[in-house]
Structure 1
């Protein structure tokens, strides 16, 4: 719907705010048959970035990329909003700003591929994942002993552009087998470790080379720690058997509230190496630490303790 303002476009569209469903839908995949030392099943989750996909374009011009309106840790990497802005600008013969509503972002945006895995004590096993280009390679980069089975499942589209999709789940499983987090190294560089204190406090260590700005790095690592804690304990997205998403508001995604988030302490290891991304490794390390602290429950979300 095109109008002079966002409010006018919503009014013309007759848009009604989405709601949280009361229906319950479980994870889409089941653990492969076998004798396993550890198993893990994850659910559909929403990237839940704050600023929805947006772009603007002049007639005959090049549309602005959606990342200029706030990043999404891969959630906007394959967004269709720029193409929509170009099409509408050409159609209407004037500059157009295209903006997803929250419901648009949920229905059209990619999700982290859910997995169901079983691993043996030697690190071998089977990891089932909703069919996603690149997921097998992502898993193999950290856990070559896992056989990846991709499964077609009705539901929203998936992408490995989402933060650490595939390799993080594999790294968490291996940490579970070890019985400790250790230092988890991300495929693109950067390493991290994490632990959960008796009071729930998260302690994080990160190796990211010589940081360009320690304050910015600490902020990214704190955000990654919150994202991991929320993913393991409280986040899920209701998707029915036909693949339709029913949770359409920010409050319905299960993102852990700030008031429910424990203290997060981040220690940056000194280094003279070139700076690299460290927050993805923090995401993996905190997910592993929280899972271990909860006793490695099979299904996520595991609940807030």
Structure 2
């Protein structure tokens, strides 16, 4: 049975009526601006489109429900270019994976609503963004409301891309097209005739001609959020400590699930897409799987992780327990990474920020952990060491950037960062705001629960504890002027300093996250 509807002003017909609107848009009609971030849970908002002018999450909307109706993606918005420029000018899109859906939803607000933070934050409740920390999204909305987005700012976008590379650890495009979803994601660029491979319920890869057929072959049951409590799996090292901290399992929560495609005998595409995923995809297996399946089938194969696969198989932030004495000496007990190289990375980073703190690795049942994640281990230890002094908290990262942070009485973080040549203040500020947002999340709510065998139980993207827009305060970033010195990564130092400041503001509880609030 065919389904006909209007898409961005044109009449279209799709032939598979058993799929979602998102699958029909992306896989049958080739419209790649709506994204699949939760695979499909209806929770991340990345696939938001307008149906008869009203926002709708496409991944859980059967395509049969739009028969004879009007569907508008970000590509069909009359003011699309103004939104794109506003997001670029404000630094409101880094990877650009979540922003097409955000723009689609915000586009239905009036100028008065766009200029009202409460109205924008309420609209953003339907969305998740891991990169920007929400603030620059609000600022982009105000630009559109005021008509300030008609002309682009005078910026050196090559310098902006260099700063993004330094911050994210992977090549990243900076430009108006990124906010519309055209940053160069692997799954967007796969050939139309590629087989689609998904991980089946039995752990084996299955391949089919369409994503709908592959999902039926995979036979997975949608993951859920558990009511199980978070655990702090590592005991504190013995000793008399001036300050102690325990952390739990934390999901990096990047929005784009791992994806890669490969032709027989070729090189697989990078799962990093348009950004580094905070280090969370450094050891992703999807590229090697795509190469193997392409050779096996003699055809180009597109390999996709579902959100549950990301949670079960992807690297987590290492749980730790650290005790530090008043003189800065101490011990950090850390979940052991999968390889010796990661252990040495952690040791080296700790020596640079806390030379008197020893590290012990602990074998834990659970998902893999990685030293590649933003400031993993050294940031937590640096925050503990910084807490021994008075506010504000200052951290110098292994890269040589220095950040100073304080959370004021109203719960508003204020951060100053010195990282050499800023290159582009807009991108640098955006990354620093995002780092503060991530630090606040680590203090206030981010964790996942595991069962007794170490298998993650929290399988929905909303269960990771990422702070919503309504829960995220305004964040002040001051960039220290620097005409000397090579540019270095700033956001890791900002993350560590903001972590220390937020932890101080909630009175240094032993275990993070805490149920306390900043103000």
Superposition TM-score, scaled by structure 1 size:
0.96
**What is the rounded CA distance, in whole Å, between the counterparts of 2:292 and 2:272 in structure 1?**
19
Cα distance, 1:148 vs structure 2? 1.1
Please name the residue that 1:298 is paired with: 510
Residue by residue, what CA displacement relative to the aligned partner does 1:128-168 show, whole Å, maximum 9, x if unpaired? 11112232332222111112111111111111001111210
C-alpha distance in structure 1 between counterparts of 2:398 and 2:470, whole Å? 33
Matches within 5 A, 1:25-64: 25-64=230-269
Q: Aligned residue for 1:176?
A: 387
Preserved contact between residue 179 and residue 292 of structure 1 (Cα < 8 Å)? no
In the TM superposition, what is the alpha-carbon distance from 1:40 to its structure 2 partner?
A: 0.3
Query: How many Å apart are 1:69 and its aligned residue?
Result: 5.2
Aligned partner of residue 183 in structure 1, secondary structure: strand
Contact 1:51 1:70 (8 Å CA) reproduced: no
Which residue of the partner structure matches residue 375 of structure 2? 164
> Paired residue for 1:104?
309
Task: State the partner residue of 1:92.
Answer: 297
Structure with more helix by fraction:
2
Tell me the SS of whatever aligns to 2:273: helix
Aligned partners of 2:442 and 2:513 also within 8 Å: yes
1:11 positional shift:
2.3
Secondary structure of 1:266 counterpart: strand
Specify which of 477, 496, 499 is matched with residue 284 of structure 1.
496
- Cα distance, 1:5 vs structure 2: 2.8
Aligned mates of 1:291, 1:62 — CA distance in 2: 45
Q: Quick check: 2:353–2:382 contact (8 Å CA) kept in 1?
A: yes
* Secondary structure of 2:510 counterpart: coil
Alignment of 1:139-154 (within 5 A): 139-154=350-365
Corresponding residue for residue 215 of structure 1: 426
Work out whether residues 506 and 516 of structure 2, in 8 Å CA contact, stay in contact via their aligned partners in 1: no
1:178 and 1:237 map into 2 onto residues whose CA distance is 31
Corresponding residue for residue 242 of structure 1: 453
Query: Is the 8 Å Cα contact of residues 387 and 393 (structure 2) preserved in structure 1?
Result: no
Q: Which moved more, 1:178-187 or 1:29-38?
A: 178-187
Tell me what 1:197 maps to: 408
8 Å contact kept, 1:27–1:41:
yes
Could you say which residue in structure 1 is the equivalent of 2:71? none
Question: 366, 389, 399: which one pairs with 1:155?
Answer: 366
Q: Larger deviation: 132-141 or 104-113?
A: 132-141
Cα deviations across residues 195-216 of structure 1 (Å, max 9, x unaligned)?
A: 1111111111111222221111
Q: C-alpha displacement at 1:218, in angstroms?
A: 0.7
Cα-to-partner distance string for 1:88-108 (whole Å, 9 max, x where unaligned): 111111111111111111111
**Which structure is larger by alpha-carbon Rg, 1 or 2?**
2
Aligned to 1:258: 469
Deviation of 1:304 (Å): 4.1
Contact 1:53/1:69 (<8 A) preserved: no
8 Å CA contact 1:129, 1:151 repeated in 2: yes
Structure 2: distance between partners of 1:25 and 1:112: 14
- Corresponding residue for residue 131 of structure 1: 336
The 3-state SS of whatever aligns with 1:141 is: helix
Is the 1:51–1:69 contact (alpha carbons within 8 Å) kept by the matching residues of 2? no
Q: Which has the higher contact order (CA 8 A, sep 6+)?
A: 1
C-alpha distance after superposition, 1:156-206 (max 9, x if no partner):
111100111121011101111113344311101322111111111111111
Work out whether residues 386 and 394 of structure 2, in 8 Å CA contact, stay in contact via their aligned partners in 1: no
Query: CA separation of 1:9/1:90 partners in 2, compared to 1, >3 Å: closer, same or farther?
Result: same
Residue 16, structure 1, aligned to residue 221, structure 2: yes
Q: Does 1:73 align with 2:278?
A: yes
Q: Give the aligned CA root-mean-square deviation in angstroms.
A: 1.3
Number of equivalent positions: 305
How big is the shift at 1:2?
1.2
- Measured in 2, the distance between the counterparts of 1:274 and 1:294 equals 36
TM-score (norm 2): 0.57
Distance in 2 (CA, whole Å) between partners of 1:60 and 1:175 is 51
Extract unaligned runs of 5+ from structure 2: 1-205, 338-342
C-alpha separation between the residues in 2 aligned to 1:172 and 1:237? 22
